[in-house]
Amino acid sequence: MGELVLVGLLAVGLGARVLMVVAQRRHLRTPPPTPATELPAVSILKPVKGLDADLEANLRSVFAQRYPAFEVIIGAYSADDPALEVARRVAAAFPEVPSVVVADPRQVGPNPKVANLANLLRHARHEVVLISDSNVRVAPDYLADLVDHLQQPGVELVSSPIRGCGAASLGGKVDALLLNTFVMGGVAAVHRLFAGVCVVGKSMLLRRSTLRQIGGFEFLAQFLAEDQVCGQEVARRGYRIALSSRPIDNVTGGPSLRQVAARYLRWGKIRRRISPAGFAGELLLNPVAVAAVGAVALGAGVSLVFLPIAWVTSMGLNTLAERSLGVRRSLGERAALTLLADLLAAAVWPVALLARTVSWRGNALRIGPRTRLLASGELEALPELQEASETS
């Protein structure tokens, strides 16, 4: 009986993984929209903190956009942040691109990235705003592609699929694999199969008027999942959310496995509160871990056969997903990374399920409804969170 249950769990998990891979491959083959007849000027907001991997090359890719009119605003909280010196050097290399480098310690809320964005927006001159993380690298037609999507009827928010690249450590390679499979496949499945909202904030284009409608960065700074809440609020107002079919590169660099686990733990805490039912089923998306637990629980016998079957099948699905992105790996590397990624994601899952706090800049904050960040003791006294239209 136990082995039948294990077979059923593996079938459900692998079936879901197949759907994710199919959705990802189909989405990446989606033709781009009709080019826009008018290209509005765009303000690109680049929040920085510290020296991300290949930061200078990442910033240069933004300044090198083939687009008629845009400006770049880069900023950090501290004037001593080493990223600002890199930003000034890149800006000087592109004098033809209007740019501002900002150091501003003001905070409009507990989410540090959004508070930084609020400071940058004060210097922006244009109606269309692009939020672009410092660890992403983009193609020269990146901005034009996003604007083409924004100009489609009813669209008020555009995001990008994220491809992991530039790994300089084992942790960086595991991170890239998870971005290329679990993250991109999940985002594509939500968009293509369920017509749902799933926004990754590493790349978001929207109008300032839309941002004001949902309460601005002051509202979004209350949340850990500011990108997803932004998407939900835009959709609530009847607008469409578009996902480009052109991936942008997330340079993963050289993090340790522990650092990668910490990031996916934070993302797990977000998904636990944004979609509890979906998060509950996520454990099955790690078939190697499920098979390993089943083999231990059931003991020796036919149950041990399921572990290599799950491993090989998961490797094959990862290969199909990454090849759609142009990523090639050796068989040995693929086998090792598949095993590590499955076990890491499975180990993080129960912690994310039970955790109620997140640490940011030395402050312990509790995670409330919709990932709202709360000071210690605030959660118990908090009434049900009101919608943005009622609080802004």
Within 10 angstroms of residue 211's Cβ, the number of other Cβ atoms is 23
Answer yes or no: are the C-beta atoms of 249 and 138 closer than 8 Å.
yes
- Among candidates 193, 199, 209, 211, which has minimal Cα distance to 159? 199
Determine the residue type at 287: P
- Separation of alpha carbons 238 and 295, rounded Å: 48
Residue 374, pLDDT score? 86
pTM of the predicted structure, to 2 decimals: 0.91
**What are 356's two structure tokens?**
């109620």
Residue 360, pLDDT score? 59
Backbone angles phi, psi at 74, to 5 degrees: -115, 135
- Among candidates 72, 81, 120, which has minimal Cα distance to 99? 72
Backbone angles phi, psi at 363, to 5 degrees: -110, 130
Rg (CA), the chain: 21
Residue 388, pLDDT score? 31
Q: Which residues of 100-126 are buried (b: 16+ CB within 10 A; e: fewer)?
A: bbbebeebbbbbbbbbbbbbbbebbeb
- Separation of alpha carbons 227 and 234, rounded Å: 11
Answer yes or no: are the C-beta atoms of 165 and 176 closer than 8 Å.
yes
Backbone angles phi, psi at 269, to 5 degrees: -60, -35
H or E element that contains 360: strand 357-360
Answer yes or no: are the C-beta atoms of 164 and 177 closer than 8 Å.
yes
Residue 123, pLDDT score? 98
Residue 383, pLDDT score? 38
Residue 352, pLDDT score? 94
Residue 376, pLDDT score? 52
- Separation of alpha carbons 162 and 366, rounded Å: 28
Answer yes or no: are the C-beta atoms of 50 and 211 closer than 8 Å.
no
Residue 361, pLDDT score? 54
Report helix, strand or coil for 98. coil
- Separation of alpha carbons 313 and 288, rounded Å: 9
Answer yes or no: are the C-beta atoms of 25 and 320 closer than 8 Å.
yes
- Among candidates 323, 324, 328, 295, which has minimal Cα distance to 309? 295
Place of tokens 């781009």: 32
- Separation of alpha carbons 40 and 196, rounded Å: 28
Residue 303, pLDDT score? 65
pLDDT (tens place) for every residue of the chain, 392 residues total: 778 888 899 999 999 999 999 999 999 999 999 998 889 999 999 999 999 999 999 999 999 999 999 999 999 999 999 999 999 999 999 999 999 999 999 999 999 999 999 999 999 999 999 999 999 999 999 999 999 999 999 999 999 999 999 999 999 999 999 999 999 999 999 999 988 899 999 999 999 999 999 999 999 999 999 999 999 999 999 999 999 999 999 999 999 999 999 999 999 999 999 999 899 999 899 999 999 888 888 876 666 788 999 999 999 999 999 999 999 999 999 999 999 999 999 999 999 999 888 875 556 778 998 999 986 544 444 333 333 322 23
Sign of the dihedral through C-alpha 14, 172, 54, 98: positive
- Among candidates 99, 126, 104, 128, which has minimal Cα distance to 116? 104
**What are 97's two structure tokens?**
């691109």
